[in-house]
Amino acid sequence: MSADIRRILNNEEELINISRPIFQAIDVDNSGYVDEKELYQMMCNTASEFQIANPTLEEVQTTMQGLDRNRDGKISLDEYIELVKGLLREMLKGETDTQDNGNEKKAEEQINKQLQMFEKYLEESGITMAFQLIFAEILTKKIEPNNVFTYTAMRLRQIGKEIAHLLPKNLTANISESN
């Protein structure tokens, strides 16, 4: 559907050919414009189709003001086409938002899976315990805030050497290379 909407939005002639018959059906008196009376009738017909209350005069006037860009009190074919373009863009945006939501959901699920795997690895490898130990040391030794990062890195390296035999081979190679 989005491909069709894009095609129509990018082809002014097709957009006019689709919009003109609808506009002409609303333009009952064939004046080339939709006046407030014709807009009211169209809105009432639409309300009837949807089985909702007819619009108030105020609602019709508000709609007219929103569509009547040149403020001449009537809606031209060009103004109607601008309305159709806006509606098509909204449909396209809504479809894109729905796709984006689906893509965002998939990405979020993938991230959650990766986080779960990482949390499991941290738990199994004891790294979380190492950070807890380092944090306790930082508090008890009252390490200065500007030295916390350096201290943490140093302690992680020391702990890494101490537990290297527990880590997977690909990680232990990195530890021994850094010496």
**What does DSSP say about strands 33-34 and 75-76: parallel, antiparallel, or unpaired?**
antiparallel
Distance, CA of 19 to CA of 81 (rounded, Å): 6
Distance, CA of 69 to CA of 123 (rounded, Å): 64
More confident site: 9 or 167: 9
Q: What is the pLDDT of residue 57?
A: 92
Q: What is the pLDDT of residue 139?
A: 84
Give the domain-ending residue among 41, 67, 92. 92
Q: What is the pLDDT of residue 175?
A: 47
Domain that holds residue 144: 125-178
N- to C-terminal Cα separation, the chain: 60
- The alpha carbons of the chain give a radius of gyration, in whole angstroms, of 33
The reply to whether 112 falls in a domain is: no
Q: Is residue 159 a contact partner of residue 133, using CB atoms and an 8 Å limit?
A: yes
**What pTM, to 2 d.p., does this model score?**
0.51
pLDDT tens digits, one per residue of 103-152: 777 877 877 777 677 667 666 666 667 777 777 888 888 888 888 888 88
| CATH label of the domain that carries residue 11 | 1.10.238.10
Q: What is the pLDDT of residue 85?
A: 87
Q: What is the pLDDT of residue 116?
A: 74
Distance, CA of 25 to CA of 34 (rounded, Å): 10
More confident site: 168 or 23: 23
Domain count, the chain: 2
166 confidence band (pLDDT: 50, 70, 90): low
More confident site: 7 or 124: 7
pLDDT tens digits, one per residue of 48-103: 877 888 889 999 999 899 899 999 999 999 999 888 888 888 888 876 666 666 67
Mean local confidence (pLDDT), 12-24 = 90
Mean local confidence (pLDDT), 158-168 = 66
Taking residue 33's Cβ as centre, other Cβ atoms within 10 Å add up to 19
Same domain, 88 and 130: no
Q: Is residue 64 a contact partner of residue 42, using CB atoms and an 8 Å limit?
A: no
Amino acid at 2: S
For the residues of 71-130, what is the DSSP string, one character each? -SSSEEHHHHHHHHHHHHHHHHHHHHHHHHHHHHHHHHHHHHHHHHHHHHHHHHHTHHHH
Give the domain-ending residue among 39, 69, 92. 92
Q: What is the pLDDT of residue 106?
A: 80
Q: What is the pLDDT of residue 98?
A: 60
Task: Calculate the alpha carbon distances from 96 to 7, 88, 92, 102, 109 in Å.
Answer: 15, 12, 6, 10, 20
Distance, CA of 93 to CA of 97 (rounded, Å): 6
Give the domain-ending residue among 39, 74, 92. 92
Same domain, 28 and 73: yes
